Amino acid sequence: MITDDALPRLADVDFEPLTPAYLRLRTITAAITATVAAMIALVVIALAPSTLTVVIAAGVTVLVWAGCLLQRLEVRRMGYAVREHDLSFRRGVLTRSVATVPFARVQHVSIGHGPLDRRFGLASLDVRTAGGAIGIPGLPQDTAERLKRLVTERAAELAQDETDTTDNDTTEIEPDGPARQLDGFEPPAAYPPPDTPHDGR
């Protein structure tokens, strides 16, 4: 059984950053979004020129561009780490979060592609368990395939180890004797008789 003390702390683990191609992809999509928002703001101002309209349109445009900058920062903070018994994914700008999936609980691993991922040679890794899932975006295609193979193999190995441990702990029932543990435990040759009940005198 693996204890928490046997694993390195996540704070001491070096997270692998996402590929720069993913940062370029997010930058392009964010710039397109901001440009469209600015054009809509100009159209609204032209159709309904007023101080309130200008203020609202300018505010929306600023918020959209701020969101684009936050996206760039978020991508720079993203990263994944592979330890012996689990996979972790870190994200967040204002608030950091780290999601960790133990290999022993993995039920399904898949690779996905967004609308523009193939053009940039990117893929995302989706790892699911009974209690949830984590998705790691912005991976080169070959990296995503290697991670999928690694997670699948480690999950199978740990599942086999757990099965072997369970088999070693099972109890075998002998027809003419008491139960005997398969790990070599030998029961006493004779057990003491039960206490004789008092007759009340």
Helix/strand/coil for 158: helix
The whole-number pLDDT of residue 34 equals 82
Which amino acid makes up residue 159? A
The whole-number pLDDT of residue 143 equals 94
Query: Computed over its alpha carbons, how large is the radius of gyration of the chain?
Result: 30
Q: Is residue 132 part of a domain?
A: yes
Q: Is residue 178 part of a domain?
A: no
Query: Would you say 28 and 75 are in contact if contact means Cβ atoms under 8 Å apart?
Result: no
Q: Is residue 68 part of a domain?
A: yes
Q: Is residue 179 part of a domain?
A: no
Q: Is residue 175 part of a domain?
A: no
Query: Would you say 84 and 100 are in contact if contact means Cβ atoms under 8 Å apart?
Result: no
Q: How far apart are CA 186 and CA 198, in angstroms?
A: 33
Q: Is residue 198 part of a domain?
A: no
- Strand partners for 5: none
Task: For the chain, 201 residues long, give each residue's pLDDT as a single digit of tens.
Answer: 444 444 446 556 789 999 999 999 988 888 888 888 888 888 887 887 888 878 887 888 788 888 888 888 889 899 999 988 899 999 988 788 899 999 989 999 999 998 889 889 999 999 998 888 899 999 999 999 999 999 999 999 888 866 655 555 544 444 444 444 444 444 445 445 555 555 544
Q: Is residue 95 part of a domain?
A: yes
CATH number at residue 94: 2.30.29.30
Q: Which domain holds residue 127?
A: 14-167
Q: Which two tokens stand for residue 92?
A: 């967040």
Helix spans in the chain (H): 20-47, 51-77, 141-168
Q: Is residue 186 part of a domain?
A: no
Q: Count of domains in the chain?
A: 1
b/e map of 84-101 (b: 16 or more CB within 10 Å)? eebbbbbbeeeeeebbeb
